[in-house]
Structure 1
Amino acid sequence: MQVRQLGEQVINQIAAGEVIERPASVIKELVENAVDAGATQIDIVTAAGGKTLMRVADDGAGMRQADLKLAIRRHCTSKISDDDLFDIRTLGFRGEALPSIGSVARLVIQTRHSEEDHAWAIAVEGGKEQPIAPAARSKGTQVEVRDLFFATPARLKFLKSDRAEAAAITEIVKRIALAYPEIGFSLSGADRQPQNWPAARGDEPHLARIAQILGQEFTDNAMEIDAGREGVRLTGFAGLPTHHRGNAQHQFFFVNGRPVKDKLLLSGLRGAYADVLARDRHPVVVLFIDLDPALVDVNVHPAKSDVRFRDSQLVRGLLVGAIKHALVQAGHRSSTSNAAVALDAIRAQAAGGERPFAAAGPSYGSGGAAPQPAGGYSSVATAERWAPDVFRPLEQALPPAHGFAEAPAAEIQTGLSGLVTPSADARAHDVPVEAEKTDLPLGAARAQVHETYIISQTQDGVVIVDQHAAHERLVYERLKEALAKKDVARQILLIPEIVDLPEEDAARLAERAEDLEKVGLSLEAFGPGAIAVRETPAILGDMDIQGMVRTLADELAEWETAESLREKLDHVAATMACHGSVRAGRRMRPEEMDALLRDMEATPLSGQCNHGRPTWVELKLSDIEKLFGRK
């Protein structure tokens, strides 16, 4: 077969396949051009998910007549010169978008430069250019794209439904709008509900734009990020671990104002939240990375969605360190939306309702004496837990006693382990009134409900604490601290615990015995299909060794991933903490409940357990009064 040169139109259509994948790709390119033109208002109109119509109008600088002729030619751009490829400061730079769109659709451009007497228009249909002509437009540029892929009908078969394509366009516009709060955006059309994001003003425009797009709920439950290292600056907002989602669609990264979906950044984000979120939950973040353009290559992907950093470990380390620091600074803070969920559950009587946190991850603290939600814990009290017979009046003030927060961790666990499980008739535990403790963030303990939840009183409301989830986090943080110091105290079992397992699980545990030794767990093979546990971490006290070992065997099957040894050991510590924490169904003494609250206030990350579920929720007095019609 003879080799021959392809025609210009075919070349353009092939090249368009790399740049224009779907209607959202067109919108991305056109909106980025409008941003580069200095627009202060960008209006987008679509129809049929962008398949039949996309129109982007801006009030930017516009183009001169001569520039308009060149704009539809491949590799013609005003944004870079021969020496600027490694110092790119604009969103667009290749000069491929307009010719690519014109080769597969019907394209009409109207534009007016401030130095021109009137506007000019040019049309391109399937790669065929029409003569330039005068037009009526006061300022800026309007680009109209109709019948996308009419020139390459095979591409139409790969597009999704109108609704899915419209949603993809909305997502693209949201990402660009988040990066440029000083620009107003509107999105309308026959295929959608109109959306309008006015230009944000004031001292914190990014925060205002985030509230416009993600809602006030996110800004109320976000931690501010502001860190820098060696010329790289990271700013933005990261959600509390208890404010998570079931997918990663609410994770927004920007590099020098460019929206990106970079594997390095996603990996760093997972690492930062590793010990506060279950693996199937995802944090909500809006983060901006600013650095010298020479230190990042944005020309590594046709859609410019991936970037390559010159020092990738510096960027990842900054991201992980900044978020972990913010998590520590957040202390015992928990998502405010949890209280709203609780109030809604009470109002709806929680009859057969969905449990918001039931699927967040495994929990091993359920005791036989206490009724538990299927699938895991929820810190949201359902209406059945608030029945009138649950509470009884405080009969007497018990003498104050020292709490376990002042004692060594091992003593704490030993004391908790010795508590007697109450009968099913014991519904609440009275606690003495100590007015001065209501000044503290988590208040003073007043009662224990269903031997699972601690009720405490603050100055302006009530706090409900999940005792297992809270103690799990406290134990985990102590284990991590001891692991970092390589000083995990152990307790020798008088009689080794023999755990029967499938042979492959037992072999897997025996192979990892040296690693497990680092977290205070000493075990060895005990014949085929069995493991003998001889030592456990002292902080865990009398724990469920059988359940812990079986869970560890399942988790070790996933250790072939690229995680570091420290990350793996942290996962082991989290599993051990869950099995070794005070269980639901155990009655706690008044001083122990108060001590648990004080320990939570002093411990970083105590607002959520190791799986990302909240350890406590607060109901404000004003909200409670509304429930009873007092306000």
Structure 2
Amino acid sequence: MNTTGPHISAPARPIIRQLDEAAINRIAAGEVVERPASAVKELVENALDAGARRISVDYADGGKTLIRVTDDGCGMTAQDLPLALSRHATSKIDGSDLLNIHSFGFRGEALPSLGAVGRLTITSRTADSDAMMIAVSGGRTEALRPAALTVGTVVELRDLFYATPARLKFMRSDRAEAMAIAEVIKRLTLAEPEVGFTLRDVSGGEARVMFRADPVSGDFFDALRGRVSTVLGRDFADNALAIDAPRDGLRLVGYAALPTYSRGSSAAQYLFVNGRPVQDRQLFGALRAAYMDVLGRDRHPAAVLNVECDPQWVDVNVHPAKSEVRFRDPALVRALIVSSLRHALAEAGHRASSTVGAETLGAFQAEAGGPARVYQMDRPSAGAISRGFALQAPMGFAEAPSARFDAPLPTADVSRPLGAARAQVHENYIIAQTADGMVIVDQHAAHERLVYERLKAQRDGAGIAAQALLIPDIIEFSANDCARLLDAASDLAALGLVIEAFGGSAIAVRETPAILGRVDAAALLRDILDDLADLGSSDRLQARMDAVLSRMACHGSVRSGRQMRPEEMNALLREMEATPLSGQCNHGRPTYVELKLADIEKLFGRR
């Protein structure tokens, strides 16, 4: 039986060889160009760096047989074209400072890599020179020849990976590759709102416009709002909060959606660093942490955010596709994102997304066939309900089992944002009249959020109480894990979890947050370690404590099935208006629905 290792094949000394230029370019292409969408990204970024104001992208068969990028940028001369096909030849930097990067591209690898694995043709013209064309196929460059073109550049890539056919086996369907191209274009359009983009599918000889974004003028927020309306839809723009938060030399700008405009996946999250689209897990982790207290685990926020900073503070040269970055102070960036978004969401007060009302109106439409909709579970008798909920009234809400709602209601101000209470139906929903419509409030969900915010304020005001363990928990970890936990010890202590070194590779847990009760310290620390390894920080302990407060709020709030007097209902509405985040419950669901009078009249054919 041969037990020789896979890298020990012969006793002869291996020979070190210098790879030829074609092999080097094909290897580089494997890092830079993963699929057709990667080629589109590199070519469009080159067009943006050339100062293009309009960019057109054509593709066929998902980009496998054709990718053509046309721009009106500054163009290239006959002397520039051969040099552009040489590795590490670039106009973006001079090589003296690899951290001071102000452009999308800077390595000079994209064009020679594409020419090494496909059939590449570049036609270009500057304002003061004639148009010229150069072609390279499988790494073999042809001679320059004259061409016809206005100022700008056309880059045409045919038969991607024909020179490396093994890569073709890893391509997905034409539809999947086309969707990936569209996603790349959408991200770049959000990075450059003042540039016009057109994406066309020219498969079969017929050009179909798949996406179009015209240039948007105005100041930054107006331009970005217009562009996000095009890319993400008008609903996102109408239900997003403008973010402009400077802090310690950093600045976070963009739009973040209300929690009630959440999504079932992270597809509507677009993050940028100095205008560069990135897929950085630390930034996405910070975005998730900012919404942690207002969304359920299966929901994801929607946002378009750009972190602006001195280019010297961020290294964009840590990933072949430049999709990840490394900050000099990642904790500061994370704190900026989390604190800015939480502040903006709190400032939004009781506001909920407008799509909630639209979905409600849609639910009113008649359904074709099927069983009748069930609106209410079977319940005990009214007397049993009254006795059962008599002792559940929170502070300030006195139970009135004999309350009747057929009597005239006291006068209240309908001009208030949530209006004046007019009735309670099914012992759970408050109907309020506003100046131009009506509001339906889920009394339990709304009061749950109010109680939850009160509990958090009390916790934060008095500090987080810790309980000392009679016998400390001694937990063994690896040396690296111990060091990582001890580095975070001061942050954990502020949350009531006190740990210290216990010699060797062990950690002693001295105190735990009192609110959590009995804690499996080993499991908790392992979860925190996972977060530290993945994101560089952990909100696990904070989330655990918030979950406990959320459960307490649920049990201490007005229950479904409890009758409320008119003054109680109006008091609930006024407190909602004054409480941050009251537009959604602790799990991210809306606490109220607003219907405009015009929409209600349409239901009855009055308009």
TM interval, short-chain normalised: 0.7 to 0.9
Q: State whether structure 2 residue 116 is matched by structure 1 residue 103.
A: yes
Tell me which residue corresponds to 1:546. Answer: none
Tell me which residue corresponds to 2:230. Answer: 212
User: Match for 1:120: what amino acid?
Assistant: M
Offset from partner CA, 1:490-526 (integer Å, 9 cap, x none): xxxxxxxxxxxxxxxxxxxxx999745337xx6799x
Which residue of the other structure, out of 249, 271, 279, is the alignment partner of 1:231?
Answer: 249
Q: State whether structure 2 residue 72 is matched by structure 1 residue 50.
A: no
Tell me which residue corresponds to 2:515. Answer: 518
Tell whether the 8 Å contact from 2:393 to 2:557 is kept in structure 1 after alignment: no
Tell whether the 8 Å contact from 2:22 to 2:139 is kept in structure 1 after alignment: yes
SS at match of 1:2: coil
Which shows bigger deviation, 66-75 or 2-11?
Answer: 2-11
User: Match for 2:111: what amino acid?
Assistant: L
Tell whether the 8 Å contact from 1:513 to 1:523 is kept in structure 2 after alignment: no
Q: State whether structure 2 residue 72 is matched by structure 1 residue 59.
A: yes
Tell me which residue corresponds to 1:369. Answer: 379
Q: State whether structure 2 residue 185 is matched by structure 1 residue 176.
A: no
CA drift of 1:436 comes to 4.0
User: Match for 1:169: what amino acid?
Assistant: I
Offset from partner CA, 1:407-433 (integer Å, 9 cap, x none): xxx99615759565x9xxx9x944744
Tell me which residue corresponds to 2:446. Answer: 470
Tell me which residue corresponds to 2:366. Answer: 348
Tell me which residue corresponds to 2:3. Answer: none
Q: State whether structure 2 residue 281 is matched by structure 1 residue 263.
A: yes
Q: How high is the sequence identity, in percent, across the aligned residues?
A: 56
User: Match for 1:215: what amino acid?
Assistant: G
CA distance in structure 2 between the partners assigned to 1:351 and 1:477 by the alignment: 43
User: Match for 1:600: what amino acid?
Assistant: M
Tell me which residue corresponds to 1:551. Answer: none
* Structure 1 residues 474 and 555: CA distance shift in structure 2, 3 A: farther
CA RMSD of the aligned region, Å?
Answer: 3.0
Which residue of the other structure, out of 611, 616, 630, is the alignment partner of 2:592?
Answer: 616
Tell whether the 8 Å contact from 1:88 to 1:293 is kept in structure 2 after alignment: yes
Q: State whether structure 2 residue 414 is matched by structure 1 residue 438.
A: yes
* Structure 1 residues 586 and 369: CA distance shift in structure 2, 3 A: farther
Tell me which residue corresponds to 2:330. Answer: 312
1:204-603 alignment, distance < 5 Å: 204-349=222-367, 369=379, 413=394, 429-430=405-406, 432-486=408-462, 515=512, 517-518=514-515, 562=531, 563-564=538-539, 565-603=541-579
CA drift of 1:2 comes to 3.2
CA drift of 1:9 comes to 1.1
CA distance in structure 2 between the partners assigned to 1:83 and 1:99 by the alignment: 22
User: Match for 1:583: what amino acid?
Assistant: R
Tell whether the 8 Å contact from 2:242 to 2:256 is kept in structure 1 after alignment: yes
Offset from partner CA, 1:241-275 (integer Å, 9 cap, x none): 00000111111111111001112211111111110
CA distance in structure 1 between the partners assigned to 2:312 and 2:47 by the alignment: 24
Tell whether the 8 Å contact from 2:420 to 2:570 is kept in structure 1 after alignment: yes
Q: State whether structure 2 residue 95 is matched by structure 1 residue 82.
A: yes
CA distance in structure 2 between the partners assigned to 1:513 and 1:3 by the alignment: 57
* Structure 1 residues 518 and 237: CA distance shift in structure 2, 3 A: same
CA distance in structure 1 between the partners assigned to 2:406 and 2:125 by the alignment: 77
CA drift of 1:571 comes to 2.2
CA distance in structure 2 between the partners assigned to 1:370 and 1:135 by the alignment: 85
Tell whether the 8 Å contact from 1:241 to 1:277 is kept in structure 2 after alignment: yes
Offset from partner CA, 1:555-606 (integer Å, 9 cap, x none): 9997775434333211221232223322222222222111111110110000
Q: State whether structure 2 residue 177 is matched by structure 1 residue 201.
A: no
Tell me which residue corresponds to 2:8. Answer: none
CA drift of 1:287 comes to 0.7
SS at match of 1:3: coil
* Structure 1 residues 308 and 430: CA distance shift in structure 2, 3 A: farther
* Structure 1 residues 417 and 167: CA distance shift in structure 2, 3 A: farther
Tell me which residue corresponds to 1:626. Answer: 602
Which residue of the other structure, out of 15, 18, 22, is the alignment partner of 1:5?
Answer: 18
CA distance in structure 2 between the partners assigned to 1:556 and 1:572 by the alignment: 18
* Structure 1 residues 49 and 579: CA distance shift in structure 2, 3 A: farther
User: Match for 1:303: what amino acid?
Assistant: A
Number of residue equivalences: 526
Which blocks of at least 5 consecutive residues in structure 1 are unaligned? 356-365, 372-409, 490-510, 526-553
Offset from partner CA, 1:300-324 (integer Å, 9 cap, x none): 0000010111111111111111111
SS at match of 1:348: coil
SS at match of 1:223: strand
* Structure 1 residues 610 and 77: CA distance shift in structure 2, 3 A: same
Tell me which residue corresponds to 2:10. Answer: none
* Structure 1 residues 50 and 431: CA distance shift in structure 2, 3 A: farther
CA distance in structure 2 between the partners assigned to 1:158 and 1:100 by the alignment: 18
* Structure 1 residues 27 and 431: CA distance shift in structure 2, 3 A: farther
CA drift of 1:210 comes to 1.0
Tell me which residue corresponds to 2:173. Answer: 161
* Structure 1 residues 164 and 370: CA distance shift in structure 2, 3 A: farther
CA distance in structure 1 between the partners assigned to 2:451 and 2:233 by the alignment: 35
Offset from partner CA, 1:62-100 (integer Å, 9 cap, x none): 001111110011110011002131100000000000000
User: Match for 1:41: what amino acid?
Assistant: R
Tell whether the 8 Å contact from 2:515 to 2:548 is kept in structure 1 after alignment: no
CA distance in structure 2 between the partners assigned to 1:283 and 1:104 by the alignment: 39
Tell whether the 8 Å contact from 2:243 to 2:344 is kept in structure 1 after alignment: yes
Which blocks of at least 5 consecutive residues in structure 2 are unaligned? 1-13, 382-390, 466-507, 532-537
* Structure 1 residues 206 and 431: CA distance shift in structure 2, 3 A: farther
User: Match for 1:113: what amino acid?
Assistant: T
